[in-house]
Chains A and B, each alone.
Chain A
């Protein structure tokens, strides 16, 4: 197993050789007459990483990179095809149900779109208190007190003015605060946040990012942050794994990744980010083409058809994710 992440402290989440294939729906006619084997989308294709307790770990990639699928598996929402996920020492997909139920209390998911993850007919207070109803033994009045506390905590104060409101009466940023309060209600240890600021107004994004970071510090949460936005990942994460077509291409401490990106894909991603400084306009070296289909990924290194530094080995052999420098891993034949 690759010793990704910290070596001394025990990791909170360990993902080992994780693979997730989604079968492609074929029409009945195709199933009966076409003797072709069933096709699979290789959403996640053998990745290994671990997240230390209390860390903010970023999974960065474009759409179709497998980052959300990975996040959903580590939160126990879907089963992997192969590989294992260990959360707080317990193997997520091998433990008996009662134990899994206890483990679930420690894990929460924050989705991208707060409006569609809140029931429009449920008042804010009820929405935030709902996980407690199912997962705690607290009395109704105790749950109510917890909800008031939570609302204050996530900046929805005075809490009694928000408790009785409906989602449509809130701004986008306030809704995302409700979603975060709900995720925190059962005192989780691990939060998977999938693009938590992508649908929030630009002037409100910093508030939400800071709220997540404050909660992380105060409650010593372990956060897996899924984002396509490198600037958001840089601001929030201590470590980042860059994914492309279901594989991890590079993994490093945030600072190392941004000052010294090794993988040609990471370099391309960073070059493509528009910089808010008109004096930094320059001729960019942008790879051509787009992310290929995960139905039929390229042979060898999945990035080789677009890579500016491609050589013969790249189309043949799959590069392993290897440590290049202290704690900086890259899956590229250039460094092997």
Chain B
């Protein structure tokens, strides 16, 4: 597997009035071809902003102030708007959380496809766009005849399938799915996730799955990146994240979520709440809530430290561990 996406030291700021919120700060992440990366975090962790930056969709008051984004050999930040339009849809596509607000209620489902396809591919004819729509809908288990229905005639799950279909329409190599099942009920969620992984094989896609749900990550991801307050806390293969979490935030998060399979009644709560990004804590952003906090955590920002097995975490505690290993 070779690299499809390389993000180096990405920083994104939102400037509102006199406040600056650094939504993503010095985040470096790679994605291999065919890989599913789970990007986990709470609201305000910067996970959605990261996805938008890869799409070249950061708009004022948001600004990419630093970093390099290389997609399949192309430097995304150097592209013109016209070139970005080509990249989006054909190379990278995004699926958003709420299908009802993403679909136009007075436009037929098929017309969404025609508009989307022709916006990114000027040469596509209406007929060819329409037949693509039918093929993709069939792939998603929706009869092609429903191409002339309106979104309100579809159930919630089918609307989200339409969103996935739109993302697939131009056969991109990367799909960024931002909380794609959060608005859905659990059974429909399971159906959609299953379909997403089947289609990932069929269309040979890479996937960045943005979610707050550790269960979904465990079901879907090959590798997991955990974000907290705009920074990357930890990145590791999925099994390592769940079995040997290195960062205290990842550990605490896993200890605080209820699991229907385990019978132990006690959850460990994490004190406090995620910080306000306009006034982030000094040093490590997790230090006010960390059970292992020591003096240095309040003063310096920890860098990512390799912990072996393609894992890395940003915590001073790991420096000692690394010294012992080498």
Contacts and interface: CB of A to CB of B under 8 A. Distances in A.
Nearest to A155: B271
A258 interface: yes
Contacts of A275: 215, 218-219, 259-261
A272 B273 CA distance: 29
Interface string B200-230: 0000000000001111111101000000000
Interface stretch (A110-118, A131-139, A281-289): A281-289
B265 A202 contact: no
Given A231-B260, A273-B260, A286-B187, A203 B157 contact: no
B186 A273 contact: yes
Contacts, number: 130
Nearest to B42: A201
A201 B213 CA distance: 11
Interface string A214-257: 00000000000000101110110000000000000000000100
A231 B267 CA distance: 12
Given A235-B258, A281-B218, A290-B156, A62 B187 contact: yes
B155 interface: yes
B116 interface: no
B47 to A, nearest CB: 12
B267 A209 contact: yes
A173 interface: yes
Given A202-B42, A206-B268, A276 B155 contact: no
B260 A258 contact: yes
Counting contact residues on chain B (CB < 8 A from A), the size range is: 35 or more
Interface string A165-178: 00000011110000
Given A201-B43, A272-B190, A279-B239, A231 B258 contact: yes
A138 to B, nearest CB: 32
A228 B270 CA distance: 23
B194 interface: yes
A31 interface: no
Contacts of A273: 186, 215, 260
B218 A291 contact: no
B189 A201 contact: no
Nearest to A255: B263
A262 to B, nearest CB: 16
Nearest to B289: A203
Interface string A187-220: 0000000000000011111110110000000000
A258 to B, nearest CB: 6
A202 B216 contact: no
Q: By DSSP majority rule, is chain A's interface helix, strand, loop, or mixed?
A: helix
Contact of A203 (B155, B215, B217, B253): B253
Contact of B191 (A204, A206, A286): A286
A98 interface: no
Interface in B27-71: 42-43
A289 to B, nearest CB: 9
Contacts of A279: 239
B259 A274 contact: no
A203 B186 contact: no
Given A171-B274, A231-B258, A272 B218 contact: no
- Listed residue (B191, B216, B263, B289) with the most chain A CB atoms within 10 angstroms of its CB: B191
Nearest to A208: B269
Contacts of A8: none
Contact of B242 (A173, A270, A272, A277): A277
B270 A206 contact: yes
A276 B273 contact: no
Given A201-B274, A203-B273, A272 B261 contact: no
Given A203-B253, A274-B193, A275-B260, A280 B270 contact: no
B244 to A, nearest CB: 12
B257 interface: yes
B7 interface: no
A253 to B, nearest CB: 13
B186 A62 contact: yes
B185 interface: yes
A207 B258 CA distance: 12
B218 A231 contact: no
Given A230-B186, A276-B254, A204 B259 contact: no
Contacts of A255: 263
A92 to B, nearest CB: 30
B186 A269 contact: yes
A255 B268 CA distance: 21
B238 interface: yes
Given A234-B260, A273-B215, A278 B190 contact: no
B84 interface: no
Contacts of A234: 258, 260
Contacts of A100: none
A252 to B, nearest CB: 14
A243 to B, nearest CB: 12
Contacts of B186: 62, 228, 230, 269, 272-273
5 contacts: A205-B256, A231-B259, A255-B263, A274-B218, A286-B194
Interface of B: 42-43, 155-157, 185-191, 193-194, 212-219, 221, 238-239, 242, 249, 252-254, 256-261, 263, 265, 267-271, 273-274, 289
Closest 7 CB pairs of A and B: A274-B215, A272-B190, A62-B185, A171-B273, A231-B258, A235-B258, A206-B256
Interface of A: 62-63, 171-174, 201-207, 209-210, 228, 230-232, 234-235, 255, 258, 268-281, 284, 286-288, 290-291
Given A270-B260, A276-B259, 16 more contacts: A172-B273, A201-B43, A202-B256, A207-B269, A228-B185, A235-B267, A269-B186, A269-B187, A272-B189, A274-B219, A275-B218, A277-B242, A278-B239, A279-B239, A280-B218, A281-B219
